[in-house]
Amino acid sequence: MNTDDWLADNRTSYDTVAVSYANQVRGALAGHQYLRAALEVFADCVRAGGGGPVADVGCGPGEVTAYLHGLDVDAFGIDLSPGMIDVARHEHPGLRFEVGSMTDLDLPAASVAGLLAWQSLIHIPDGDVPTVFAHFHRALRPGGPLQLLFHVGDGSELKTEGYGGHPMKLHVHRRRPERVASWLREAGFEVEAQWLLDPDEQFPQAIFFARSRS
């Protein structure tokens, strides 16, 4: 499947579930202290670097974007799904959201002070991840922080239903942290820390803290 095909499937799938997904995740951060802590570390890094705009790439309905805004971070959201962006603008009318793809990130070079991608890389095939990380590196200021959240494991599965029982057609890719770290280093990032969440679960999650090298 070429890039246009799977991007179209991802876009249509999330357009279909946008409202149901927003209803499911609304306020969910309140119950996840480690995720909140990760965002607070990220916000501290942005402020320590002098502040500036921060891109939440794959923002969905904007919950994380809004949380960062509450931490005095000038965050804006980007998502492939116009349906998700419509929901984000409705839920968080004071914030900026725009349609875009991390595979062709429309941000000027060195234009953001930080970049975050939570559970959005999970839909990017392996062959396209280096391109995505190259876009992240180009858009970040030298020394700017990058934070990733992704599913840990091996292989991929086709998701055909989700979030209220609506039909979907997209792949969920699980990856080993060492592989993601290797891709990041090749793209010009220094991996500073990683957290493993729910290590005893069938599918743990990992949070990476990285920084763009000049």
Q: pLDDT 10s per residue in the chain (214 long)? A: 567 789 999 999 999 999 998 998 898 899 999 999 999 999 999 999 999 999 999 999 999 999 999 999 999 999 999 999 999 999 999 999 999 999 999 999 999 999 999 999 999 999 999 999 999 999 999 999 999 999 999 999 988 887 777 888 988 999 999 999 999 999 999 999 999 999 998 889 999 999 998 7
Model pLDDT, residue 1: 58
- Cα 115 to Cα 70: distance, rounded to the nearest angstrom: 16
Instruction: Answer yes or no: CATH 3.30.365.10 is held by domain 3-212.
Output: no
Where do the structural domains in the chain lie, given as residue ranges? 3-212
What pTM does this model have? 0.94
Exposure class string for 174-213: b at 16+ Cβ within 10 A, else e? bbebeebbebbeebbbebeeebeeeeeeeeebbbbbbbbe
